Amino acid sequence: MSSPARKIALVGNPNCGKTTLFNALTGLRQKVGNYPGVTVEKKVGEMRSLHGEKIELLDLPGTYSLSARSDDERVARDVLLGDLKGTDRPDAVLCVVDASNLERNLYLVLQVIDLKLPVIVALNMVDVLEEKGQRIDPDALSQQLGGTPVIPCQANQEIGIVDIKGALSRTPHRSHRRWNAGEDVERILEKSAEVLIARGVPNAAAHALTIISDRAMRDRTHDHCIDHSLLDELEPIINGEAADSDLPIESRIVAARYETIGQISAASVRGGDAPMELSFSDKLDATLIHPIKGWLIFIAVMVTMFYSMFTLASVPMDWIDAGFSKLGEWAGASLGEGDLKDLIVNGIIGGVGGVVIFLPQILILFFFIGVLESSGYMARAAFIMDRLMSKVGLNGKSFIPLLSSYACAIPGIMGTRTIEDDKDRLVTILVAPLMSCTARLPVYVILIGVMTPNADAATRTSLMFGLYALGTLGAFFFAWIFKRAFSKNAASPFLIELPPYRMPGWKLVFQQLLDRGLVFLKRAGTIILGLSILIWAASTYPKPADPDTPREIALEQSYMGQAGKIIEPVVEPLGYDWKIGSAIVWSFAAREVFNSAIGIIYKVGEEAEEEELKTALANAKHPDGRPIFSFWVCAGLLVFYVFAQQCIATFAVVKRETASWKWPIFQVVYMTTFAYFAAMAVYQIGSRFFG
């Protein structure tokens, strides 16, 4: 029987390259970014040592210390203490250190060593330090850390990976605490550990030091698994032994650690005597985060991204168009007349093809997001937006999840775990789905095309940019309202580390593109396919007794037609007929289903081309000859899709993250209600006063 795999935890400060190193060691594809808090979940991968031994790597959330203030930091601390249910305490820890910020990173290294865990230090970004004219002597640093192995590396270039695997292959080294805060502190640690041992607490010394050095834990101001009665038992020990000190015990421990860090750095860092010059990143930041120039560049980057989505994507979209068209023609010619042919051609090929065609535009969006993250610009975008976020009571840390929501609201909502303030986190969760995600993109493209049939790419880019801006402003508006309703506190200061600019990791960017593309296709092959079949069935049955009944009448007599007639009075003030209302109802499961539903309703599946769908919608008329998809109906529909909450997966994630049914229900109600009245206002005002 084989022995279980050794478990190694990866820990490190945000932006130290920990996730990049995790990918390099395991080959597991995972999102990589340069802004704090990108790793918000436990991530596990497998690797083989140089001797072929199987090792399980655990990528813990980035944290600056083990004095946890947010959910992801609590996860890191609890795993290292062995307190996280369902996760074994690691056998060793691989501490990833940003060599260009050695002193700050060493604080976490000392804390991990204090937990009596075997530690290996991966000294990452040594190239960035050398650009400053400095270097770190790994042997001297290892000696200063009590023999802890120190391996220089450049994770983004996969330099030093073999050496790290070699260090992980050897028996891990267990160092000892490197600092001393005084005899009274030592007595407190010893007596506290004895109490914990008597109470049966595992890893008693590690728990004792964590409790004593974390005032918030003793004050019960954040959650942890330590019994409160145990804290009550420890408090007299702490207060009694440290009664003569002017400083709180936790401050003395912090000071002792930093004093030791200063000594370690002085003995390990070489060079740096020459006057410091502005780095390449510093010179770029003088422009990119300038109060005026920074905003102009940020807007230019966003416009370029949306313009590329319309221009660069047109060629591959034509290829997909042609592919589905050929497939539809082949299926139509191969199958005999009947329901099966109708289902395959109009239901499946038409429904799924109407969504898959937008894959190139979605990939272009993810490509830009990946490059911005990987190059270091995303953190600057958050810094720039902090000035705007503070106006609504939030800070730039809330903007990072909101920015992620441009791709998908789900990772954005999960990314709110990095926000320490519970009220700020709730507000960010509630407004995150207002940021236009990629699922809205197919709907936007179709409706913009129908609304402006003769517009050029620049005009359509402006409209698309306007829709994204409208969603963002909506998120800020509701954040301002919720912040004042839920919390009277001012926004907390936003601290963000601006990583150095670097060439994007192309391999990781394209891995991310591949992952996102597969996720989109899987969604099209499952959810969209299933809903397309249901929509086809609802629009086909029951069939009229007379097989020669015109399609329009047969559609009205179908289950979809009967239901659509019921809801028609509700959507009529928005300028919609029952067909649009039915497509909207179906798209509450997933927004992009609107395209599938409207394509099946107007029976353009055989051609399955974007232009054919646009033509069918543009030619659709009311009985009195008025166009169904008039300019103001399309404008109202676009506004509706900007604000409405139409995603079952998002609903489920909000329920999980808030541990309540109340907030996801509230989110659906407030977003959809606002979307309804906003769309009605656009249609009624636009059609009455502007024709």
Residue 59 among known ligand-binding residues: yes
Question: Is 98 a known ligand-binding residue?
Answer: no
Q: Which residues pair with 618 in a beta bridge?
A: none
Does 309 count as an annotated binding residue? no
Whether residue 90 is annotated as binding a ligand: the answer is no
Residues 243 and 240: their CA atoms lie apart, in Å, by 5
The Cα–Cα gap between 641 and 174 comes to 57
Q: 627: left (phi > 0), else alpha (psi -120 to 50), else beta?
A: beta
Q: Are strands 92-98 and 6-12 parallel, antiparallel or unpaired?
A: parallel
* Spatial distance between the Cα atoms of 416 and 412, rounded to a whole number of angstroms: 7
User: Residue 141 and residue 46: Cα distance in Å, rounded?
Assistant: 29
DSSP string computed for 444-495: HHHHHHHHSTT--HHHHHHHHHHHHHHHHHHHHHHHHHHHHHH--SPPPPP-
Question: Is 39 annotated as a binding-site member?
Answer: yes
26 is in an annotated binding site: yes
Residue in 613, 627, 634, 315 with CA at minimum distance from that of residue 444:
634
Residue 567: in which H helix or E strand, if any? helix 559-571
The per-residue pLDDT for 33 is: 47
Q: Give per-residue burial for 32-50: e unless 16+ CB within 10 Å, then b.
A: bbbbbbbbbebbebebebe
Q: Mind listing the pLDDT tens digit for each residue in 603-658? A: 654 444 567 788 888 889 988 889 999 999 999 999 999 999 988 878 888 987 88
Tokens 């028996």 identify what position? 171
Alpha carbons 320 and 342: distance in angstroms, whole number: 21
pLDDT score, position 36: 43
Tokens encoding 209: 């030091």
The verdict on whether residue 37 carries a ligand-binding annotation is yes
* Torsion sign across C-alpha atoms 257, 263, 269, 272: positive
The answer to whether the annotation marks 41 as part of a ligand binding site is yes
Q: Is 625 annotated as a binding residue?
A: no
pLDDT digit string, tens, across residues 345-403: 877 887 787 778 778 887 887 888 888 888 888 888 888 887 777 788 777 678 778 87
**615 annotated among ligand-binding-site residues:** no
Residue 269 labelled as part of a binding site: no
3 state DSSP class of 565: helix
Give the pair of three-digit tokens for residue 165.
Answer: 């695997």
Query: Could you tell me how far CA 338 lies from the centroid of its own chain?
Result: 46
Is 60 labelled as part of a ligand binding site? yes
Segments in the chain below pLDDT 50: 32-40, 605-608
User: Does residue 262 have a known ligand-binding role?
Assistant: no
The answer to whether 393 is annotated as binding is no
Residue 16, marked binder: yes
DSSP 11-50: EE-TTSSHHHHHHHHH-------SSTT---S-EEEEEE-T
456 is in an annotated binding site: no
pLDDT at 578: 92
Q: Is 127 annotated as a binding residue?
A: yes
Structure tokens at 510: 């394209």
The pLDDT value given to residue 76: 85
Residue linked to tokens 């060629």: 315
* 101 marked among binding-site residues: no
pLDDT at 543: 87
Annotation-wise, does 124 bind a ligand? yes
pLDDT at 222: 54
Residue 542 preceded by cis peptide, ω within 30: yes
Cβ proximity of 344 and 335 under 8 Å: yes
pTM over 0.75: no
Structural domains of the chain ordered from first start: 1-275 (3.40.50.300), 522-690 (no CATH)
